[in-house]
Amino acid sequence: MADMNIRYEELLAHRKGQPPLPTAVVHPCSEDALIGAVEAAKAGLIAPLLVGPKEQIGKIAAKSKIDLSPYEIVPTADAEESASVAAHLAGSGKAGALMKGSLHTDQYMHAVLQRENGLRTSRLLSHCMLIAAPAYSRTIVVSDAAVNIAPDLDQKRDIVQNAIILARAVGISQPKVAVLAAIETVNSKMQATLDAAALAKMADRRQIVGGIVDGPLDLDMLSTRRQRGSKAWRRRSQAKPISSSRPTSKPAT
């Protein structure tokens, strides 16, 4: 647990000296959601815009003894409107980030994906999970574990690029992306291995930028190899500088 706390503190330290990020907190209508937003504000990470039913938020704050006077409340009628209003705030530039509160994920994502809210880009929207494992010394980013079920090669390219961008944003200067498969050789009968090899080559050709990409790689073998120092990563990193890279099934540092 101590190592994980250190990793958490390192992540917070990356924001030190930077202004709080204006953040639309979407429907903070549970104690956990509201407390999380307020704690992030007190840590100097965000400047929250609490988007939700004002009376309901006030009751939760009173019960939890939270002072809401420093924070702006953007009143809405229900969760669906909260998501829509928050997405519009982010799309218009009034908020720099969204923080999900106590609403269903499908309500939240529906608003995010509406083109009129201006949040969509040319790349696929994907999910990233940051993991601090007690027995592993580096931060791990896993993608995509929640949103895209069976991505094709072009979609995997976007997933990798998105993960690299996130990794760099949280302070990983040169993300190393391991494109996972069941085996570490290319097999024409296993599409995952073909896609992994193609993604590695796409990184070489700068179709993915910001990191180092390799694959196909096996998770168990990769963990063992990384513990003793991977010659493969060193060869790729010394080959030629890459200004940005990509992850797919699993980005790691």
pLDDT digits (tens, 9 = 90+) for 225-248: 555 555 555 555 544 433 333 344
Torsion of CA 40, 46, 49, 54, to 10 degrees: 10
- Residue 251: pLDDT over 60: no
Burial class (CB in 10 A: 0-12, 13-18, 19+), 21: middle
Give 179-207 pLDDT, tens digit per residue: 999 999 999 999 999 999 999 999 999 99
The whole-angstrom separation of Cα 36 and Cα 69 is: 16
Kindly state the percentage of the chain with pLDDT values over 70. Answer: 85
Give the model's confidence band at 12: pLDDT under 50 very low, under 70 low, under 90 confident, else very high: confident
Give the model's confidence band at 4: pLDDT under 50 very low, under 70 low, under 90 confident, else very high: low
As a whole number, the mean pLDDT across the chain is 87
Q: End-to-end distance of the chain based on CA atoms, in angstroms?
A: 20
Give the model's confidence band at 223: pLDDT under 50 very low, under 70 low, under 90 confident, else very high: low
Q: Which two tokens stand for residue 214?
A: 């390799």
Sheet containing 212-217: give its strands across. 129-131, 140-142, 250-252, 176-180, 212-217
Residue 82 C-beta-side C-alpha neighbours within 13 Å: 30
Q: Which two tokens stand for residue 131?
A: 């993991």
Residue type, 115: R
Cis peptide before 144 (omega within 30 of 0): yes
Which among 1, 39, 48 has a CA at the least distance from the CA of 20? 48
3-state secondary structure of 126: coil
Pairing of strands 176-180, 212-217: parallel
The pTM of this model reads 0.81
Which among 182, 139, 137, 191 has a CA at the least distance from the CA of 12? 139
Average pLDDT of the residues in 56-78: 97
Helix (H), strand (E) at residue 131: strand 129-131
Pairing of strands 72-75, 97-100: unpaired
Neighbours of 234 (CB within 10 A): 11
Return the residue matching tokens 């209003």. 85
